[in-house]
Amino acid sequence: MVGFGVSIFLITLGAIFKWAIKAHLSGIDLPALGVILMVVGAASFLLQLVMMSRTRAPRGNPEVINDDRNQPPV
């Protein structure tokens, strides 16, 4: 899974391609590539948020396990 840093990097790189670079390359539409990178970065960022919230949320009643290792033997 891509981390938050890579997602933000993709969004930033996409914004640079979309608005900052004015060069014209044959066969490559830089503004369209920028939009694609921003969409992929935003989707990855949102997916990270969803996955993080799912793993941290407790599900139901957790089973309590009694650990008697610190008790003296009977």
Per-residue model confidence as pLDDT tens digits over 53-65: 877 656 666 676 7
Which pLDDT tens digit goes with each residue over 9-55?
999 999 999 999 999 899 999 999 999 999 999 999 999 999 888 77
Alpha-carbon distances of 33 from 4, 43, 63, rounded to whole Å: 20, 15, 49
pLDDT for residue 73 is more than 80 = no
Query: What pLDDT sits at residue 61?
Result: 67
On whether the CB atoms of residues 2 and 37 are closer than 8 A, the answer is no
- Give residue limits of the domains in the chain: 11-56
Which pLDDT score, from 0 to 100, does residue 2 have?
Answer: 72
